[in-house]
C-alpha cells in the first residue's frame, strides 16, 4: 500500500518531501539534522521508486492542476531526468550524512544549512522534473539563491565574496534565460518545451532566444571563460556545501542546457556545437593547468571542476554520431558528482584535521587520515579517467566518438586532460606520503566523515563496473538519440 502510493507519487514526492523537510527544519531548528536526514532518506526512496516505475511503465508525465500544456505546467520524468534525480538522491544522501557530522560542532550554522540545503534539493528535483520553460526559470532562481546562502555560510570574507560573485553571476544568467523565454513566449504563445519545439524556426527571434538561453546557462554552468566565479565560491564554502555545489548544482544547469539543446536548439544552430566544444576543450586544459598551480587543496579541487565541466561540453560537437558522446557526458556527470563530492569531503576532513588546506603542508596525512586520503585518491581515479571508474567509462565513450569522427584535436584534449588530472591529483596524494614530523595540533576527525567520503569514492568506481543499469535508465524515452 505504502509502496504503491510511493510508486504512484514518486515524482511529486521528490518535490514535496524536501520542501516539507525544509519547512519543518525551518520551524523546528532544534530538530534540524534529524529532519534533514529523514528527508534525505525519504528522497532517496522516492528516487528509487521513480526509477522502478520508469523502468516498468516508461516515461512519467504529471499534469499539475490537471490542466496540461500549454495552459498548465507539466512535469516529466524520462530516463535522463530520472538518472539525474537518482544521482542527486544518492550524492545528496551522502552529503546529508556527512553534513550531520560536520555541523555537529557548529549548531549555529546547522540550523541554516538544513533548510537551505533542503530547499536547494527541492529546486534540483523540481528542475529535473520540469517540462516548462518558465517553471524552469523559477527553479533556477530557487537553486541560485539557496546555493548563495549555503556558500556564504562559512562567513569568512572569502566565502562572502565568493557568494556575492556567484549570486550576481547566477542572477544575471537567470535574467538572460528569462529574456530568452520572453522572446519564445511571444513567438510561440506558450512555454511548454514540447510545444515550443514544434514552433521554433530559423528566424531571428528564435536565434536571439537561443543565444540568450544558451549564454545564460553556460554562464551558470561555469564553462570557460565564464568559470571565473566558480573557484572562489566552491573553495571557500564549508566542505559539505562545496561538495554539493560542485557535484550537483553545476550539473543541474548543465542538464538544463543539454535538455534544451536536444529538444529545442540543436536543429536551429548546428554550428554552435563546435563553439561549445571548443570552449569545453579550453576549459579542460585551462582548468587543469590552473589546478596544477594552486597552493590550496580546495581551490585545486574547484579548478578540477572547471576542467571536468569542459569534458561535458566536448560532447556537443561529438554527439552528431550515435549516442556514445551523450552517454559519455552524462556518465561523466554522474561519476564526477560522486567523485567530486567525495574529494571535497576528503579535503574537508584534511582541513579540519590540519586546520588549513595548503597542499605542501599536508604532511603525513596519509598515516593520520588514511581513509580520507584513500577516498581522495579513489575519487581521483575517476577524475583522471583511470579504470575501473565511471570517469574511465565516460572518457572511453567520448574518445570513441572523437576518433570515430576524426576529431583529432578533441581526442588529444581528452587524453591530455587525463594526464593533467593525474598530475594534480598526485600532487596531493604525493604529499600524503611524506615523512616530515607532525608540526601542528591535529584535530581528531569523526570516522563517519571519512567513511562517507570513501563510500562515495567507491561509488564512482562502481560506476565503472556496473555500467548497464544507468544506461538502461537513461534509455527510457531518451532524447539522446542524436542526429545521424
Partner 1 sequence: MAADDTRVSAVTPWHFYALLGVGLFSLALYTFIVQAHLLRKILAFNIMGSSVFLVLAGLAGSPAGEAPDPVPHAMVITGIVVAVSATALALVLMLRLRDTSGRLTLPEDMGG
Partner 2 sequence: MNQWLPLLVLASSLLPGLIIFALPEHKHRLRTILNLTGALLKLALVLGILWGVFNQQQYEVRLALLPELDMVFRVGPLALFFIILSSGLWLVTTIYAIGYLEGSPNRSRFFGFFSLCVTSTVGLAMAGNLFTFLLFYEMLTLTTYPLVVHRGTAEARRAGRTYLYYTVSGGALLLAGTVWLYSLTGTLEFVPQGFVSGLDASHHQALVVIFVLLIGGLGVKAALVPLHGWLPKAMVAPAPVSALLHAVAVVKAGAFGIVRVVYEVYGVEFSSSLGVAYPLAIVAAITIIYGSMRAMFQDNLKRRLAYSTVSQVSYIALGVAIVGPIATIGGLVHLVHQGVMKITLFFCAGILDETLGIHKVSEMKGVGRRMPWTMGAFTIAAFGMIGLPPFAGFVSKWYLSLGALEAEQDWVILLLVASSLLNAIYFLPILHAAWFREADGPWPHERELGRYETALALLLPPLVTAALTVLIGLFAAAPLTPLEWAKLISIREFGRP
Partner 3 sequence: MPEKSNNQPTPEVQPPSESGLRWLSAALLLVLFAGLASAIMSLPVGTSGLSGEVEAELANSGVSHAVTAVLLNFRGYDTLLEMAVLLVALIGVWSLAPATAAPLTAPGSVLERLVELYVPIMLLTAGYLLWNGAHAPGGAFQGGAVLAAAAVLMFLSGRSLPASLEAWPFRSTIALGLIVFSAVAALLAWRRGALLDYPPAAAGALILLIETTATVSIGSILAALFLGGRPGDGR
The three cell numbers of residue 136 are 524552469
Binding-site partner at residue 249 among partner 1, partner 2, partner 3, none, CB < 5 to 8 Å by type? none
Alpha carbon distance 245, 151 (integer Å): 8
Residue 334 and residue 91: Cα distance in Å, rounded?
A: 9
Nearer to partner 1, 200 or 330 (CB): 200
Closest separation between CB of residue 336 and partner 1, Å?
20
Among 57, 105, 156, 203, binds partner 3 (CB under 8 A): 203
Nearer to partner 3, 166 or 396 (CB): 166
Q: Select 20 or 321, whichever has its Cβ closest to partner 3.
A: 20
Identify the residue among 41, 197, 208, 429 touching partner 3 (CB under 8 A).
Answer: 208
Q: Which is nearer to partner 3, 207 or 451 (CB)?
A: 207
Q: Write the binding mask 218 to 247 for partner 1: x where contact by CB under 8 A, - elsewhere.
A: ----------x--xx--x------------
Q: By three-state DSSP, how is residue 358 classified?
A: strand
Q: Is 187 in the site for partner 3 (CB under 8 A)?
A: yes
Report the C-alpha gap between 391 and 37 in whole angstroms.
29
Residues 379-418 that bind partner 2 (CB under 8 A): 381, 384, 386-388, 392-393, 395-396, 399-400, 403-404, 411, 415-416, 418
Q: Given candidates 28, 433, 443, 447, which one binds partner 2 under the rule CB under 8 A?
A: 433
Strand residue runs (E) in 417-466: none
In angstroms, the CA 386 to CA 134 distance is: 40
Using the rule CB under 8 A, is 296 a contact of partner 1? yes
CA end-to-end span of the chain = 45
Give the residue from 47, 49, 43 showing the smallest Cα distance to 4. 49
257 touches partner 1 by CB under 8 A: no
> What does 228 interact with, of partner 2, partner 3, partner 1, none (CB < 5 to 8 A by kind)?
partner 1
* Dihedral angle computed from the Cα positions of residues 70, 14, 219 and 262, in that order, rounded to the nearest 10 degrees: -50
Q: Does residue 64 interact with partner 3 by CB under 8 A? A: yes
State the DSSP string of 295-341. Answer: SBHHHHHHHHHHHHHHHHHHHHHHTTSSSHHHHHHHHHHHHHHHHHH
Closest to partner 2 by CB, 336 vs 395, is: 395
The reply to whether omega before 70 is within 30° of 0 (cis) is: yes
The answer to whether 293 contacts partner 1 (rule: CB under 8 A) is yes
Burial string for 69-93 (b: 16+ CB within 10 Å, else e) reads bbeebbbbbbbbbbbbbbbbbbbbb
- In this structure, are residues 404 and 317 in contact, taking their beta carbons and an 8 Å threshold? no
The residue ranges that bind partner 2 (CB under 8 A) are 366-367, 370, 381, 384, 386-388, 392-393, 395-396, 399-400, 403-404, 411, 415-416, 418-419, 422-423, 426, 429-431, 433-435, 465, 467-468, 471
The residue ranges that bind partner 1 (CB under 8 A) are 70, 134, 137-138, 141, 144-145, 148-149, 152, 155-158, 160-165, 167-168, 171-172, 175, 178-179, 181-183, 185-190, 195, 198-199, 201, 228, 231-232, 235, 290, 293-296, 299, 303
Amino acid at each position: 500500500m505504502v509502496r504503491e502510493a510511493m510508486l504512484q507519487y514518486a515524482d511529486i514526492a521528490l518535490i514535496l518531501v524536501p520542501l516539507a523537510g525544509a519547512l519543518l527544519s525551518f520551524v523546528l531548528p532544534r530538530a534540524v539534522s534529524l529532519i534533514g536526514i529523514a528527508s534525505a532518506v525519504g528522497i532517496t526512496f522516492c528516487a528509487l521508486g521513480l526509477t522502478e516505475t520508469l523502468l516498468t511503465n516508461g516515461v512519467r508525465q504529471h499534469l499539475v492542476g490537471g490542466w496540461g500544456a500549454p495552459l498548465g505546467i507539466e512535469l516529466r520524468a524520462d530516463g535522463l531526468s530520472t538518472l539525474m534525480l537518482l544521482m542527486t538522491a544518492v550524492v545528496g544522501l551522502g552529503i546529508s550524512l556527512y553534513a550531520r557530522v560536520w555541523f555537529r560542532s557548529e549548531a549555529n550554522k546547522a540550523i541554516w544549512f538544513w533548510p537551505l540545503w533542503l530547499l536547494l534539493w527541492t529546486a534540483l528535483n523540481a528542475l529535473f522534473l520540469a517540462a516548462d520553460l518558465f517553471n524552469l526559470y523559477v527553479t533556477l532562481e530557487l537553486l541560485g539563491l539557496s546555493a548563495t546562502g549555503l556558500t556564504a555560510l562559512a562567513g569568512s570574507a572569502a566565502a562572502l565574496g565568493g557568494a556575492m560573485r556567484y549570486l550576481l553571476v547566477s542572477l544575471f544568467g537567470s535574467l538572460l534565460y528569462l529574456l530568452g523565454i520572453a522572446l519564445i513566449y511571444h513567438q510561440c504563445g506558450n512555454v511548454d518545451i514540447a510545444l515550443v519545439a514544434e514552433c521554433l524556426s530559423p528566424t531571428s527571434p528564435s536565434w536571439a532566444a537561443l543565444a540568450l538561453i544558451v549564454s545564460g546557462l553556460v554562464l551558470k554552468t561555469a564553462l570557460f571563460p565564464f568559470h571565473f566565479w566558480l573557484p572562489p565560491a566552491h573553495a571557500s564554502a564549508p566542505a559539505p556545501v562545496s561538495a554539493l555545489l560542485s557535484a550537483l548544482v553545476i550539473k543541474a544547469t548543465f542538464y538544463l542546457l543539454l535538455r534544451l539543446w536536444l529538444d529545442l536548439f540543436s536543429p536551429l544552430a548546428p554550428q554552435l556545437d563546435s563553439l561549445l566544444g571548443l570552449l569545453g576543450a579550453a576549459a579542460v586544459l585551462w582548468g587543469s593547468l590552473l589546478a596544477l598551480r594552486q597552493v590550496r587543496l580546495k581551490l585545486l579541487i574547484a579548478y578540477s571542476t572547471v576542467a571536468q565541466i569542459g569534458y561535458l561540453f566536448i560532447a556537443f560537437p561529438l554527439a552528431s554520431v550515435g549516442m556514445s558522446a551523450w552517454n559519455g557526458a552524462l556518465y561523466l556527470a554522474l561519476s564526477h558528482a560522486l567523485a567530486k563530492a567525495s574529494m571535497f569531503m576528503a579535503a574537508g576532513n584534511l582541513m579540519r584535521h590540519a586546520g588549513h588546506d595548503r597542499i605542501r603542508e599536508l604532511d603525513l596525512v596519509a598515516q593520520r587520515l588514511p581513509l580520507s586520503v584513500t577516498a581522495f585518491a579513489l575519487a581521483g581515479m575517476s577524475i583522471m579517467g583511470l579504470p575501473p571508474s565511471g570517469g574511465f567509462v565516460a572518457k572511453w565513450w567520448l574518445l570513441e566518438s572523437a576518433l570515430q569522427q576524426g576529431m583529432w584535436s578533441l581526442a588529444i584534449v581528452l587524453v591530455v586532460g587525463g594526464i593533467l588530472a593525474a598530475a594534480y591529483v598526485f600532487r596531493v596524494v604525493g604529499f600524503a606520503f611524506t615523512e616530515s614530523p607532525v608540526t601542528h595540533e591535529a584535530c581528531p576527525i569523526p570516522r563517519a566523515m571519512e567513511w562517507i567520503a570513501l563510500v562515495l569514492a567507491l561509488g564512482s568506481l562502481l560506476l565503472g563496473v556496473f555500467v548497464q543499469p544507468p544506461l538502461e535508465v537513461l534509455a527510457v524515452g531518451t532524447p539522446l538519440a542524436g542526429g545521424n
